[in-house]
Amino acid sequence: MIALLIRDLRLAFRAGGGFGLGLAFFLIVVTLVPFSVGPQPALLGTIAPGILWLGALLACLLSLDRLLALDYEDGTLDLLLTAPLPLEAAVSVKALAHWLTTGLPLVLAAPVLGVLLNLPVPGYGWLVISLALGTPALSVIGTFGAALTVGIKRGGLLLSLLVLPLYVPTLIFGAEAARRGAGGQDVSTPLLMLAGITLATIALMPFASAAVLRMGLR
Amino acid sequence: MLLNAQNLTLARGGVPVVAGLSLSLEPGKALILRGPNGAGKTTLLRTIAGLQPALDGEISGAADRIAYAGHADGIKAMLSVRENLAFWAQVFGGDAIEAALDAYALHPLAERLAGTLSAGQKRRLGLSRLLVTGCPVWVLDEPTVSLDVDAVAMFASAIKAHLAGGGSALIATHIDLGLEAEVLDITPYRARPDQRAGASDEAFL
């Protein structure tokens, strides 16, 4: 399992691996918002938590279609399926590698981009906490979507259509936690819900992903 | 341990291709599968490797003992030859990377990125992966595609060494490898067109 994680991370950092793509996309989307909304610091400060969460979610989505499709095309998935490693573990490791290369950089970059959007000062900590709690769920759910579309040519758009509705609960509670944090309100309810969703998806989704992957590879 | 398959019925894309096929593979033996294109060789090998379920019949002695090599080699272009092998060695818990590089004369290429190899060199890398898995049963689907004469000889000697070590191999191939092996022609087991029962869930759609 460690071998698979190290291999995925190594591939992500080599040429064409796509590390930083999600981060760059996040950066550009968030930078474009002040241009489209106009120079209204108060309004920007109000919508900042939502924009940052939405940007992070879309950036996560961007790299999902490479998650399993590349391994499918070169036959690695077939070989992993015949390996002594349980497929549930393999997809969990791939989701973890995706989070480390996409989700974690987004979490770390979010406070910097919060400055661009005039995010109120009390919101920075809660923004980072809510993203750190929520983005693992995005990776795990995304892995399920990638497994569903693995055999399909040009499955990237279909993947987005399948995965985005599943992202709604995470987005609602994540953005709500960040918004309440920025407004100085109590954040415990949305944070608990967010943590619950993340833990439940980490526990259950790998089984669903492995099951649909077995079907898809027949 | 004996690999045994009894009375297999196999389908590809919902259409039955093979029916009533049985085979057994003893340690130290190789079995060569023959049959024209579309006879179901790949489907049979994928089923025995556990990649797809059989419609009917039973397979025993296959779980976690099989190293499968299909048409795709599972090579990552941006990893070096040695890194590719090391990855599979770790996944399968083997460690014979140097021996595998020796067996297919890959030492001069060991630090090259796999994406820069020729088709035949990639195939040699794909076949050398079998050596690092340490699995006793090799299931090979047209292993000699794009290999030159020398590389076919390397492959034949790797197979012989594997068999001498108590391993076994199930090989679908069209060429003569110079092995003393039983040959199974699967053409007579072609499924009749009316054997559709259970092959597809179309009736429920």
Query: Mind listing the pLDDT tens digit for each residue in B145-188?
Result: 888 899 999 999 999 999 998 889 999 988 888 787 888 888 88
Read out DSSP for chain A?
Answer: -HHHHHHHHHHHHSTTS-TTHHHHHHHHHHHHHHHHH-S-HHHHHHHHHHHHHHHHHHHHHHTTHHHHHHHHHTTHHHHHHHSSS-HHHHHHHHHHHHIIIIIHHHHHHHHHHHHHTT--TTHHHHHHHHHHHHHHHHHHHHHHHHHHTTTSTTTHHHHHHHHHHHHHHHHHHHHHHHHHHHTT---HHHHHHHHHHHHHHHHHHHHHHHHHHHHHT-
Segment A200-218 mean pLDDT = 92
Answer yes or no: is pLDDT of B195 > 70: no
| Tokens found for residue B16 | 């039955």
What is the rounded CA–CA span in Å between residue B204 and residue B66?
A: 35
- Per-residue pLDDT at A146: 94
User: What are the CA-CA distances from residue B40 to residues A117, B15, B24, B37, B65 (Å)?
Assistant: 61, 11, 17, 8, 22
Helix then strand then coil, in percent of chain B rounded to 5, is 35, 25, 40
User: What are the CA-CA distances from residue A206 to residues A38, A88, A89, A145, A148 (Å)?
Assistant: 43, 5, 7, 11, 12
B139 CA to chain A: closest CA distance, Å?
11
If pLDDT is split at 50, 70 and 90, which confidence band does B203 have? very low
Name the A residues in 64-93 with CB < 8 Å from any B CB.
Answer: 73-76, 78-85
Residue of chain A whose alpha carbon sits nearest to that of B49: A82
Q: Does A154 touch chain B (CB under 8 A)?
A: no
**Mean pLDDT of chain A, nearest integer:** 91
| Tokens found for residue A154 | 């040009």
Q: Which of A70-79, A87-96, B69-78 has the highest mean pLDDT?
A: A87-96
Residue of chain A whose alpha carbon sits nearest to that of B122: A74
- Per-residue pLDDT at A2: 85
- Please say whether the beta carbons of B76 and A72 come within 8 A: no
- Per-residue pLDDT at A99: 94
B86's enclosing H/E stretch is: helix B81-92
SS3 call for B3: strand
- Please say whether the beta carbons of A62 and A18 come within 8 A: no
Residue of chain B whose alpha carbon sits nearest to that of A218: B52
A218 interaction partners in chain B (CB closer than 8 Å): 51-53
Among the listed residues A93, A78, A105, A85, the one whose alpha carbon sits nearest the alpha carbon of residue A19? A105
Please identify which residue in the block is written with the tokens 């067109």: B193
A6 CA to chain B: closest CA distance, Å?
9
B73 interaction partners in chain A (CB closer than 8 Å): 74-75
A162 CA to chain B: closest CA distance, Å?
22
Nearest by CB: B79 against A11, A81, A84: A11
If pLDDT is split at 50, 70 and 90, which confidence band does A20 have? confident
Among the listed residues B75, B54, B45, the one whose alpha carbon sits nearest the alpha carbon of residue B141? B45
Residue of chain B whose alpha carbon sits nearest to that of A75: B74
Segment A52-73 mean pLDDT = 90
- Can you state the angle between helices B81-92 and B119-133, rounded to 10 degrees? 30
Cα angle A44, A135, A196 (rounded to 5 degrees) comes to 110
Nearest by CB: A82 against B50, B78, B93: B50
| Tokens found for residue A79 | 């070989």
Ranges A56-60, A164-168, B112-116, B201-205: which has the least confidence = B201-205
| Tokens found for residue B172 | 């679908």
- Please say whether the beta carbons of A48 and A118 come within 8 A: yes
Tell me: the pLDDT tens digits for A138-180?
999 999 999 999 888 888 889 999 999 999 999 999 999 999 9
Answer yes or no: is pLDDT of B104 > 60: yes
Q: Long-range contacts made by residues B150-153, C-beta under 8 angstroms, separation at least 24?
A: B151/B104, B151/B120, B151/B123, B151/B124, B152/B177
Q: How many CB atoms lie within 10 A of CB B130?
A: 28
Q: Which pTM was predicted?
A: 0.89
- Per-residue pLDDT at B194: 64
Segment A99-123 mean pLDDT = 92
Among the listed residues A130, A164, A163, the one whose alpha carbon sits nearest the alpha carbon of residue A148? A163
Nearest by CB: B74 against A14, A17, A74: A74
Tell me: the pLDDT tens digits for B80-93?
999 999 999 998 88
User: What are the CA-CA distances from residue A129 to residues A19, A173, A183, A208 (Å)?
Assistant: 23, 12, 15, 27
Nearest by CB: B79 against A10, A85, A217: A10
- Per-residue pLDDT at B205: 46
What is the rounded CA–CA span in Å between residue A182 and residue A124?
A: 7
Residue of chain B whose alpha carbon sits nearest to that of A9: B79
B18 CA to chain A: closest CA distance, Å?
16
For residue B3, the cross-strand partners are B25
Establish, for the pair of chains A and B, how many residue pairs have beta carbons separated by less than 8 Å. Answer: 65
**Could you report how far apart the first and last alpha carbons of chain B are, in Å?**
42
Nearest by CB: B68 against A3, A78, A218: A78
Tell me: the pLDDT tens digits for B1-34?
688 888 888 888 888 888 888 888 888 889 999 9
Q: Does A118 touch chain B (CB under 8 A)?
A: no
Segment A23-48 mean pLDDT = 91
B51 interaction partners in chain A (CB closer than 8 Å): 78, 81-82, 217-218
Nearest by CB: B70 against A78, A80, A84: A78
